[in-house]
Structures are given as structure tokens and as C-alpha cells.
Amino acid sequence: MGINVVSEQSYTIGIYIRVSTEEQAKEGYSIPAQKERLTSFCASQGWNNYRFYIDEGVSAKDMNRPKLQLLLDDVKTGKINIILVYRLDRFTRKVKDLHKMLEMLERHSCSFKSATEPYDTTTAMGKLFITIVAALAEWETDNLSERIKMALEEKVSSGERVGNIPYPFDLDENEKLISNKKRTAVTLDMADKIEAGKSASQVAKFLTKTNDDKLEWHPTAVLRILKNPALCGDTQWQGKIFANTHLGIISRERWNKLQQILEDNSLHRNREVESIYLFQGKLICSQCGSILSVNRYVRKRSDGSEYQGVVYKCQVCWKQGRKMLTIGEYRFLDALYEYMRNVEIHHIELPEEKDEVSVFKEQLQQISKRREKYQRAWAADKMTDKEFDKLMDETREIMDELENKINQIQVPVPTLDIEEIKQIIFYFNENFHKLTDEERREFISRFIRKIKFKLIAQPPTRPDKYKKGKDLVVITEVLFY
Ligand SMILES: [Zn+2]
């Protein structure tokens, strides 16, 4: 109820499309393919008013792209209210650039949407989400690129359709998969619900109630649809995966994460119980490494009023006769804040390979020293030429082996720079406390795979008491999806 309320119809959408020279050859990334997908996305949202901004043959390594600049100028002058992309990496691959642009968009009340990823930058959750996803994607890009390149080489050459038509798709006149608008929307919603912590059977129940074809949905059908790599543009056939055979409906990164979530769900959770607990399935027992289970309890205060709480316990420790951990949920929440406030770079940055490299480098140094010693001994006539040659050959072999090992491991380790990590942490600390309980649970469910913690004994809370204080929960590691 206000004069400033703008109806959705009057929005002008700036559709930003980018292809790199390399990608132009690939199926699904062509400009017409992105254009088609984004136009139908607009139609599904009821947006009729859109303009295209197309950068052809440019990479997303910086913002120095003519049509991107034009788009941003149009945002500044209020001509564009929503930016729509096929996926985030069309817009940028640099977290720093993303921050700059998001800030700018916010100043000009422009929101940002991705057709294949659940970003809504108008909420605290959305901002947090996009920042972390972008950071992790940037970090992973270099790691993944080799594997993806190899998969690309196996691209189905004939382009002929094989197998069944996956649920969110239809066949076009050229026998290629194209997204079916309605079933794509249903599938994206399924993925979203799973990411937000719902189980396959909850999703199936929802679909049975809401679908108009009077079908009874089964959890296995939900799983079959979501596990199909066709969702991210690949074709699975006879146990092999052919990459980029058609335009997917979700990004590869999102599909990969979804698989991890589905796998974790099948291992660690009771599928029938709705997950309403923040850390369900995420906490690893500090005594035995099992996943903590969760219980709700109700207690009475001395005045008779009731209060509710949630505790995490280790059933395995209990069954095996160890001291059972019983820790209230709020203590983990405090610990998570504390962890994010003090998160150190090495938590995010250093892969284990680095240690390995340093071991080999150390060994290499030792060998070189030894060779110098042999040389000195030989020069001082303390060994024969024959002895010297033998020792030099032996050590040369070891050196070659070590150098090979180091070269193999030292695929350049992609790192987030400190500034970017600070940004993520800033966004987390800035936004997390603004989330509702439901959103927090969703956030943790989406991003956090496992949390490791330790307990630190505390002194009595009052000097005149002997009973020691509650152990302090300290999170030692957070594993992200
Ligand atoms: Zn345990």
C-alpha cells in the first residue's frame, strides 16, 4: 500500500549473455541457446519487458566487457530493474567483482537473478548465498577445469538422442533435449526443497498433493529425476557420461552439490522425520566421530511455565559405554558465530597437498646436500671416480623421482585471496543473525556439510562452587558442500 510500489509488469529486465571464444563451439552455451532459455524464463515469470546485452567471445576474468558496462550504466540510470543471467559465471567469475556489482545494484534498487541457480539478492539469505557460492565456485574452477575438459572430449559426436527423455525435457524437431517449461519449474522446486533440507519423501508427498495429473509420486521418482545428469546438460548412457550434450536446467556445480546432499541424506537421516533442527546430521562427535543425533525436550521452570530446547547427543558413545555428550543447540550456534568471527585463512585455503609437497622438497634438499658432500669428497680425493659416479647416479635417480612427484602435485593451487575471505566472513556475520530460524536451518543445510568441534572444560562459574562450568564448545572445522 504505497505510491512507490512498482508492479512486476513494469520491470525492465536486462538479460546478460556472455560466451567465451572457447565456449562458442560447445553445445548449449551458444548465444541462441542462452537467449531461448532466458526468454522462456522471462515468460515463466510473467516478464514481458526485456533487453538483451550480449558479450561475444569474452571471458569473465574482469569487468572490461562492452555490453556489461552498458548494462551497468543502464542500471545506474534506472532503465533496468532486474539483471537476469543463465548462470552466475556468465556475469562474473571473480568474487571481488561480484561484490562491487552487487553493491552497485543495491544502491540502484536493481536485483539479480540466475535462471539456473536460486539467487535472490533482495534478501539477506540470498546475499549470503550468492557470495559463498561465488567464492567456492571461483576456488573450484581451476581444480575442476581439467576434469571438465577431459569430459568434454568425450562429447557425444553424433548428437543423436539416446535413452529415455528425462523428466524436465522435451525433444525438439532435431531430436535434441529442450527444457519443458512446466516440468522444469517442478524440477527446480524439487532441487530447491532438497537443498533446503527436505527429504525425498517429503518432496514426493508435496508433489502428490500439488500435481494436476493425479499421480502418486514416490521418493524414488524424485531421486531418479534429481540424480540424472541431464539436469546439468550431460547425457548418461551405458554407464558413461557425455558432457554438454544439451542445455541444462541447473549448473553443473549445483548438480554436483545436490548429489552430495542426496548421498548424505541417504546415509545419515531418517527420511520420514522433517528436519527442523539447525545442525541435524552435521555434527561429528568429538569422542568417536559419529554423527550426533538430536532431541527436543520440554522442561518446566520453577514458576510452572514451560520452555523448549534442542539437544544433540551421541548414541554411539552411549551404547558403547562412554560418557555421552549432551549439548544444547544454542551452544553450537554460539560456537558457529565464534568460529566465523575468528576463522583463519588456513581453514579455507590450504589443501593437504601442500604438506606433501613440502615433505618432498625437504627430501630434495637433503639429497642435494648429500651430492655436494660427495663432490667435495671426490674433489679431495677421498673417493674414486667409480665410487663417485655410482653415488651421483643413485642420487640423480632419487632426485628425478622427487622432482616428478613435486611437479605432479603442484598443479597450481587456486586460492581465495585474503580480501575475498574477509568479504565472505563479513557477509556471514552481517547477515546470519538477521535470518529467521527457518532460514538459518536452510543456510546450514545448503552450505555446511559437516562440523567438527571439541569441548574445553571450564572452571566453576562461581569461585565458591565446586561444580565446574559447562564445557565450552569450540568448532574446529567446518566442511562446506
Ligand atoms: Zn560419540
Catalytic residue among 10, 20, 59, 111: 20
Q: Is the pLDDT of residue 326 over 50?
A: yes
Residue that is last in its domain, among 213, 244, 268: 268
Helix axes 200-210, 181-195, angle to 10 degrees: 140
The domain that holds 176 is classified in CATH as 3.90.1750.20
Residue 395's CB: how many other CB atoms inside 10 A?
Answer: 16
Domain limits for position 43? 8-122
Closest CA to 451 of 338, 319, 296: 338
Cβ atoms of 452 and 286 closer than 8 Å: yes
Residues 6+ away with beta carbon under 8 Å from 216: 208
Query: Is 365 part of a structural domain of the chain?
Result: yes
**CA–CA distance, 331 with 261 (Å, rounded to integer):** 25
What integer best gives the mean pLDDT of the chain?
Answer: 77
Query: Is 222 part of a structural domain of the chain?
Result: yes
Residues 6+ away with beta carbon under 8 Å from 245: 27, 28, 155, 156, 159, 177, 233, 234, 235
Query: Is 274 part of a structural domain of the chain?
Result: no
Residues 92 and 180 in one domain: no
- Ligand 1 center–CA 162 separation, angstroms: 48
Q: Is the pLDDT of residue 35 over 60?
A: yes
- Ligand 1 center–CA 174 separation, angstroms: 57
Residues 427, 95, 93, CA angle at the centre, nearest 5°?
145
Residues 16 and 101 in one domain: yes
Residues 13 and 117 in one domain: yes
20 flagged as catalytic: yes
Does the pTM of the predicted model rise above 0.75?
no
Query: Is 158 part of a structural domain of the chain?
Result: no
Residue 29 confidence class, pLDDT cut points 50, 70, 90 = low
The top-scoring range by mean pLDDT among 68-72, 196-200, 306-310, 329-333 is: 68-72
- Ligand 1 center–CA 450 separation, angstroms: 15
Residue that is last in its domain, among 243, 268, 293: 268
- Ligand 1 center–CA 149 separation, angstroms: 42
326-328 sheet: strands from edge to edge: 293-300, 306-313, 326-328
Residues 6+ away with beta carbon under 8 Å from 293: 312, 313, 314, 315
C-alpha dist (Å) from residue 271 to 189, 194, 274, 318, 330: 19, 12, 8, 23, 25
Q: Is the pLDDT of residue 274 over 60?
A: no
The top-scoring range by mean pLDDT among 105-119, 238-252, 409-423, 453-467 is: 105-119
* pLDDT tens profile 43-94: 888 888 999 999 988 887 788 899 999 999 999 999 999 999 988 888 887 7
CA count, 13 A, side-chain hemisphere, 383: 14
Closest CA to 233 of 184, 199, 196: 184
Residue that is last in its domain, among 233, 268, 303: 268
Closest CA to 186 of 126, 226, 129, 228: 226
Dihedral sign computed on CA atoms, order 8, 14, 20, 26: positive
Residues 195 and 108 in one domain: no
The domain that holds 90 is classified in CATH as 3.40.50.1390
- Ligand 1 center–CA 246 separation, angstroms: 46
Domain count along the chain: 3
Residues 109 and 208 in one domain: no
Residues 244 and 176 in one domain: yes
- Ligand 1 center–CA 279 separation, angstroms: 16
